Amino acid sequence: MKLGKKVLDDFLTPQLNELHEKGLYNIIDTVEGPNGPKVQINGKTVINMSSNNYLGLADNDRLKKKAMEAINRYGVGAGAVRTINGTLPIHNELEKRIAALKHTEAAIAFQSGFNCNMGAISAVMTKKDAIISDELNHASIIDGCRLSGANILRVKHQDMDDLRRVTKEATESGPYEKVMYITDGVFSMDGDVAKLPEIVEIAEEYGLITYVDDAHGSGVMGEGAGTVKHFGLSDRIDFQIGTLSKAIGVVGGYVAGTQKLIDWLKVRARPFLFSTSMPPGDAAACIEAIDIMMESTEKVEKLWENGNYLKEGLKNLGFDIGHSETPITPCMIGDETLTQKFSRRLMEEGVYAKSITFPTVPKGTGRIRNMPTAAHTKEMLDEVLAVYEKVGKELNII
Ligand SMILES: *Cc1c(COP(=O)(O)O)cnc(C)c1O
């Protein structure tokens, strides 16, 4: 008889060895300080082009102060799940603020964006239903769809003809009770924006439930309110999902929608019912972040200004920067090994910009993904461009 320990070892050892041998085992970098526009990694300070801290709020003094006040008042943990006695006034306040930001009747906050997709989709969709899903949707959407047991119908990325075809088939001849269309608001690897006006038109023609995960659009698009607001569709998208972990700078996720939808999620979304609520310090910091965003669009404007400056600069140097419509700035390299080498050389020259390769993106489309933020200065971006020029010429990419 084999011991479980041996069975596990037989599973782990060859797989880990293979990854190490192929140089594919991801070594995790440790950031030795705040995740700001510059970071310290292995004792070296470098310009940070890889965070999702779009507005620079992750180490903002106002957020830190509110978090500390909340910790002093409520402690570090909420002590229970939301539905037992882990709901504090700041959780309710946060949900009110999210609804105000999103122009919806109500909102529900989760412990993370990932968690939110795990809970929200399966609270509404069942195996009698179908979910039409863009092929490049985020992993948490894919997992959330699977968890619901609904039939998943993948459509080509942002292909409205394919969407119309699949929708027609699913709604007219499919045996489904409900059909949902689910998409990222902003696709994080390419920076393209979901074609929501066309999507809404198709959805309204065929009676689709609409679900937009705007993790990379909130705090970025629509003067901070997100992609749905950008297109003026706040009352025509059923689920507006977002994260409190990217532009908001803290951690958490949410659904904004009608009061009825939120009432249902509060009794059926399993992570809300079975996982301890967001810590008080985090909830307080999120409220402050939303207040900062609603007071002024200054940070959002700065983010776009920096994004445009970086894109212009890289394009002028002769780099292929893809088709981003947001500050996300991919620098397309292609070959996986060359992409990794490029990223390594950038790091040696003082720029931290991670390579993104297969399987995160399709084979042969390796890229460096640059994430400019509102906290970067012109001087930092000029330095980034100078390093790109040097490394680009050295590796014969420009
Ligand atoms: C990052 C991301 C998430 C996960 O959000 P977290 O708050 O980090 O868990 C979910 N959906 C999309 C589209 C994302 O980009």
Give backbone dihedrals phi and psi of 212, rounded to 5 degrees, phi first: -115, 115
Are 233 and 324 part of one and the same domain?
no
Is 187 inside a domain boundary?
yes
Residue 316 CA to ligand 1 center (angstroms) comes to: 32
Residue 1 has pLDDT above 70, yes or no: no
What pLDDT score does 360 carry?
84
Assess whether 246 carries a catalytic annotation: yes
Are 275 and 309 part of one and the same domain?
no
What pLDDT score does 345 carry?
98
Asked if 390 and 382 count as a contact pair (C-beta separation under 8 A), the reply is no
High-pLDDT (> 90) share of the chain, %:
95
How many domains does the structure of the chain reveal? 2
Are 147 and 264 part of one and the same domain?
yes
The CB of 245 under 6 Å from ligand 1? The reply is: yes
Are 376 and 360 part of one and the same domain?
yes
The strand pairing partners of 153, in sequence order, are 132
pLDDT classification of 255: cutoffs 50, 70, 90: very high
Residue nearest to atom 1 of ligand 1 (CA): 215
What pLDDT, in 10s, does the model give residues 338-350?
999 999 999 999 9
Are 268 and 360 part of one and the same domain?
no
What pLDDT, in 10s, does the model give residues 153-165?
999 999 999 999 9
Is 247 inside a domain boundary?
yes
pLDDT classification of 292: cutoffs 50, 70, 90: very high
- Parent domain of 44: 23-52+297-395
Residue 62 has pLDDT above 90, yes or no: yes
The CB of 138 under 6 Å from ligand 1? The reply is: yes
Are 287 and 329 part of one and the same domain?
no
- Domain termination residue (choose one: 243, 269, 295): 295
Is 11 inside a domain boundary?
no
Residue 354 CA to ligand 1 center (angstroms) comes to: 18
What pLDDT, in 10s, does the model give residues 362-380?
889 999 999 999 999 999 9
Q: Ligand 1 test: best mutation among 51, 246, 326, 360, most atoms within 8 Å of CB?
A: 246
The CB of 373 under 6 Å from ligand 1? The reply is: no
What pLDDT score does 174 carry?
86
Give backbone dihedrals phi and psi of 383, rounded to 5 degrees, phi first: -65, -40
The CB of 184 under 6 Å from ligand 1? The reply is: yes
Residue nearest to atom 5 of ligand 1 (CA): 113
Is 6 inside a domain boundary?
no
Is 10 inside a domain boundary?
no
Are 116 and 206 part of one and the same domain?
yes
- Domain termination residue (choose one: 247, 270, 295): 295
What pLDDT score does 300 carry?
98
* Shortest-distance atom of ligand 1 to CA 251: 7
Is 4 inside a domain boundary?
no
Are 239 and 320 part of one and the same domain?
no
Catalytically annotated residue among 66, 102, 246, 311: 246
Residue 127 has pLDDT above 70, yes or no: yes
- Domain termination residue (choose one: 274, 295, 316): 295
CATH number for the domain spanning 345: value is 3.90.1150.10
Residue 243 CA to ligand 1 center (angstroms) comes to: 6
Is 383 inside a domain boundary?
yes
What pLDDT, in 10s, does the model give residues 73-116?
999 999 999 999 999 999 999 999 999 999 999 999 999 999 99
Are 69 and 190 part of one and the same domain?
yes
Is 9 inside a domain boundary?
no
Assess whether 311 carries a catalytic annotation: no
* Shortest-distance atom of ligand 1 to CA 185: 13
Are 122 and 216 part of one and the same domain?
yes
For the ranges 104-108, 167-171, 363-367, 387-391, the lowest mean pLDDT is seen at 363-367
The CB of 211 under 6 Å from ligand 1? The reply is: no
Are 348 and 389 part of one and the same domain?
yes
CATH number for the domain spanning 262: value is 3.40.640.10
Are 129 and 254 part of one and the same domain?
yes
The CB of 243 under 6 Å from ligand 1? The reply is: yes
